[in-house]
Amino acid sequence: MLKRVLGVFFGNIRLKLWALLISVGIWFYASSQITEETTARAALNITAPSGYAVVYESDDAARVTIAGPRSLLDRMRGDLAQNHIQLSYNMTDKEAAAGWATLRIGAEWLRPRIPEEEYVQLSLREVSPAAVRVFVSPVRERTLPVSVRTSGAPPAGFRLADTPTCSPSQVKVRGPAIAVDAMKSVETAELALYNVQGSVDKPLSLESEVQVTLDNGVTASVPVSPNPAIVTASVQIVGEEERTQTIENVPVLLLASPGFPYAAEFAQGEDTVSVVVRASPTNLRKLRPESVKAYVDLGKLGQERIEPGGSAPYKEKVQVSLPEEVTYSMTAARPDRVTLLLKNPAK
């Protein structure tokens, strides 16, 4: 009995192994031939012929539905998830010369990163959008002057001695004609002036993109190639020539510490002064009459001896205070002294 049971399982073992191998092979073959579909994002890569450049594309990617053997799609899943699938098209001279072109996306655009013998097993079932609108411009080269672009103002009390210059003063610019033809000069990167003093030479890169408005109203950023791409800008910041300004009728304040023993009053007509300030025009513009202070410090007069009920006149120096943000070389009160009458109240 046991021998008969074992014979059922192990009899004709070689034939059974061949049958198993054939079954597995058929299963793998059938599995590889099962067709599936998958949808992914595909980047659009449109190339203009020599002498032209693509300036504008209505879309930079499309949603594609790809059909193919399950086994092949399974191996492509990573590329699909990473957007490695591309839709590529090489424009013809005739299409480029027309400027605007509407290009219908076809199966021949599909460019997966797989061997050609596998690529032919794929088919493009659906694509959205079905077409892409492009604008192409001839490539042109011009020699243009360089314009140094500045920002901000020199530090307070300083000014630009002259318009900034650069070396070289002209460069060749190559790019789409729609951009190059519209350019009057090539701008440098921004040169900030707020912390510059004296003569400075600084390397600056040149602009590599130009904004243009197409005839359909769309604004596009167009790349251009200046040669050389970097110039040396020269700027000279010098001190401003100082000027004098007079602020009239500034009230004189009396400053005394708590417990000052005397009452103080001005002699008639001496409670205001004129304040003269010498500074750069930039600093003078910061001055407001109400921000200028004139004062007399009564501190030392507290040591004077005045009999109760008595009084005494004193000629005291007027000091001037300006806002902290104003830099100046000279300030003075006119007159520089005023007459005060100190009184000791009677006990």
In a domain, 150, yes or no: yes
Residues 192 and 227 grouped into a single domain: yes
In a domain, 24, yes or no: no
Per DSSP, 271 falls in state S
In a domain, 102, yes or no: yes
Residues 217 and 233 grouped into a single domain: yes
Amino acid sitting at position 151 = S
Q: Which of 185, 214, 239 is the last residue of a domain?
A: 239
Q: Which of 67, 99, 129 is the last residue of a domain?
A: 129
Q: How many CB atoms lie within 10 A of CB 141?
A: 13
Residues 257 and 166 grouped into a single domain: no
pLDDT at residue number 15: 60
In a domain, 29, yes or no: no
Residues 207 and 277 grouped into a single domain: no
Structural domain range at position 114: 35-129
Q: Which of 193, 209, 239 is the last residue of a domain?
A: 239
Q: Which residue, among 48, 115, 114, has the nearest Cα to 85 in the 3D structure?
A: 114
Number of domains in the chain: 3
pLDDT at residue number 208: 94
Cβ-defined contacts of 96-100 (< 8 Å, 24+) = 96/48, 96/49, 96/52, 96/136, 97/52, 98/136, 99/135, 99/136, 99/137, 100/133, 100/134, 100/135, 100/136
Residues 55 and 81 grouped into a single domain: yes
Residues 329 and 260 grouped into a single domain: yes
- Give the C-alpha separation, 341 to 55, whole Å: 84
Residues 256 and 312 grouped into a single domain: yes
Whether 159 contacts 238, CB under 8 Å: yes
Residues 75 and 100 grouped into a single domain: yes
- Give the C-alpha separation, 332 to 88, whole Å: 78
In a domain, 7, yes or no: no
pLDDT in tens, the chain (347 residues): 545 544 544 456 666 565 555 554 544 444 445 667 788 888 899 999 999 999 999 999 999 888 888 877 777 766 665 556 788 999 999 999 999 999 999 888 887 666 665 666 777 788 999 999 999 999 999 999 999 999 988 877 788 888 999 999 999 999 999 999 999 999 999 999 988 878 889 999 999 999 999 988 889 999 999 999 999 999 998 877 889 999 999 999 999 988 899 999 999 999 999 999 999 888 898 899 999 999 999 999 988 998 888 999 999 999 999 999 898 989 999 999 999 999 998 76
pLDDT at residue number 37: 79
Q: Residue 42 burial by CB count (10 A; 0-12/13-18/19+): exposed, middle or buried?
A: buried
Per DSSP, 206 falls in state B
Residues 88 and 161 grouped into a single domain: no
Residues 121-148 have pLDDT tens digits of: 777 788 999 999 999 999 999 999 999 9
pLDDT at residue number 26: 47
pLDDT at residue number 116: 64
Residues 255 and 191 grouped into a single domain: no
CATH code assigned at 74: 2.170.120.30
- Give the C-alpha separation, 343 to 307, whole Å: 9
CATH code assigned at 143: 2.170.120.40
Residues 312 and 247 grouped into a single domain: yes
Residues 276 and 310 grouped into a single domain: yes
Q: Which residue, among 55, 63, 57, has the nearest Cα to 87 in the 3D structure?
A: 63
In a domain, 27, yes or no: no
**Which value, to the nearest 10 degrees, does the dihedral of the CA atoms of residues 175, 177, 178, 179 take?**
40
In a domain, 2, yes or no: no
In a domain, 146, yes or no: yes
